[in-house]
Amino acid sequence: MKTQELKLLCSDTQYRFEVVKEGETEKVYHYAYASVFGSAQNKNTYGLYIAPHNGQRVFNLERHKANPVMLADHIMQLDHIMGTFIYPDTKEDTHGLAVKFIFMDKPQTDGMKHAIEAFRSGHARTLSINGIATFGDPDDENHITAFDVWEISGVAVPADNKAIDTTVPIAHAASPNAEADRLKALREKYGAAVVDEIMGKIKKLKEQNHE
């Protein structure tokens, strides 16, 4: 049995919002999966997969539950806090690590304002878990059988082309041209040259990973 510190990207497409009115204030809660169970036939880009072994639970959330902040890009600093994960709704189920979270109401840094807006507008859609992975399957060295979750982050580009958390407004999700609409909005905001250069880099990375 071996352990290893890992950052693993979510490989799921389930996402939903819940708007709750508390007095005069409306709060928007977000539901998604931070990690999804795989199999020997369904591995991530690193050739690994997370799945229960011998009926045991996979995710240890005690450390994360004590300090359930949502970070940006796994940067453990105060100016990279995006929001908070909500317990007991953040938990392991039969599909993987289900999470509920809420973004900060008034982020103070330009970086977090941008990161939160990227998720709210649907341009960013990916979560990633960070912690210690245990490989406890003697028959498969690529099988992660337990994972101590240290923190969960919102991230920009997944390593797995299926590692997408569809954080998109309903209007975008319903549109058959959603991807084209998002690219158009990005080009209008940042300029076509900048966006096309970034998209070219993403395409090159995908080609290198045979995606």
pLDDT digits (tens, 9 = 90+) for 29-73: 888 888 888 889 888 777 888 999 999 999 999 999 999 999 999
Average per-residue pLDDT for the chain:
78
Buried-state track 157-188, b at ≥16 Cβ within 10 A, e below 16:
ebbbeebbbbbbeeebeeeeebeeebbeebee
Alpha-carbon distances, residue 187 vs 106, 195, 202 (angstroms): 27, 6, 16
Residue with more model confidence, 120 or 96:
96
With a pLDDT cut of 70, the percent of the chain lying above it is 69
What is the secondary structure of 62-117 as a DSSP string?
A: HHHHHS-EEEETT--SGGGEEEEE-TTTSEE-SSEEEEEEEE-SS--SHHHHHHHH
User: Burial, 197: exposed, middle or buried (Cβ in 10 Å; 0-12, 13-18, 19+)?
Assistant: exposed
Alpha-carbon distances, residue 115 vs 39, 67, 106, 164 (angstroms): 32, 20, 13, 16
Q: Is the model's pLDDT at 187 over the cut of 90?
A: no
pLDDT band at 138 (very low <50, low <70, confident <90, very high): very high
pLDDT value of position 7? 53
pLDDT band at 167 (very low <50, low <70, confident <90, very high): very low
